[in-house]
Amino acid sequence: MSKNLTTTDKRRWFEIISVVLTGVLKYVLMDWLELRVFYIFSACLFWTLYILKRYRANGDILRDWGFRKSGFKKTVFLCLPFTVVALIGIFGYEIFYNNGFLKWNLIPVLALYPLWGIIQQFLMISLIAGNLRSVSSLDMSENQVVLLVSLLFSIAHYPDLLLMVFTFVMELFFISAYFRYQNIWALGILHGWLGGLFLYLVMHRDLWRELWMIS
């Protein structure tokens, strides 16, 4: 029994470290070398292959990770306070400043960004938060895990201070909802839409142009 637990913990630490390295590569490939398409494609490919590998070994792993139908509506409802406040702030900012940044490019962003949001939430919540909560060698409470992973997710968005605050608060709600209802679909979609709107309308970042390096 102890040997099995040791093997399981090793796999959990491997997943945690792999996610951290994925985040480090984001700074190198995406922020420094500006290889956005290459980084996103490579990260998605690596983790897709890893998911398939784990699924072949354990048919229940997708459900365990939160890729399930149950809990979708309850997850959305639990995150509703943050969602409402975020939307009011985002559109209030756009209306108040009336900067005319709202363009057609927002449509493909809102259509595609949830896919990247699902990947990000899977890595941060299913793998890091879920594993930290389950590692037998650690003695962390759920609240400690929520705070730590939210802080890590915020740091991943350095040096944009406003974005760091936004992602920190968002992840506080998201991880708490995941621990309660364990549905990663809802969190990924909310991440994609809220994050896309925030980046586009508040941070004035056109993710569509950034992705394809359009000047």
Span 38-68, pLDDT tens digits:
888 899 899 999 999 999 999 999 999 999 9
Residue 65: partners with Cβ closer than 8 Å, 6 or more residues away: 122, 126, 127, 130, 184
pLDDT tens for each residue of 90-147: 999 888 876 666 677 788 889 989 999 999 999 999 999 999 999 877 888 999 999 9
Percent of the chain with pLDDT over 90: 64
Compute the distance between CA of residue 8 and CA of residue 37 in angstroms, rounded to an integer.
33
Task: Give this prediction's pTM.
Answer: 0.89
- Name the amino acid, one letter, at 163: L
Per mean pLDDT, which range of 4-8, 79-83, 98-102, 142-146 is the poorest? 98-102
Domain, as residue range, for 167: 2-212
Question: How many domains does one find in the chain?
Answer: 1
Residue 12: partners with Cβ closer than 8 Å, 6 or more residues away: 131, 134, 135
Measured at the CA of 67, the angle between CA 63 and CA 71, to 5 degrees, comes to 90
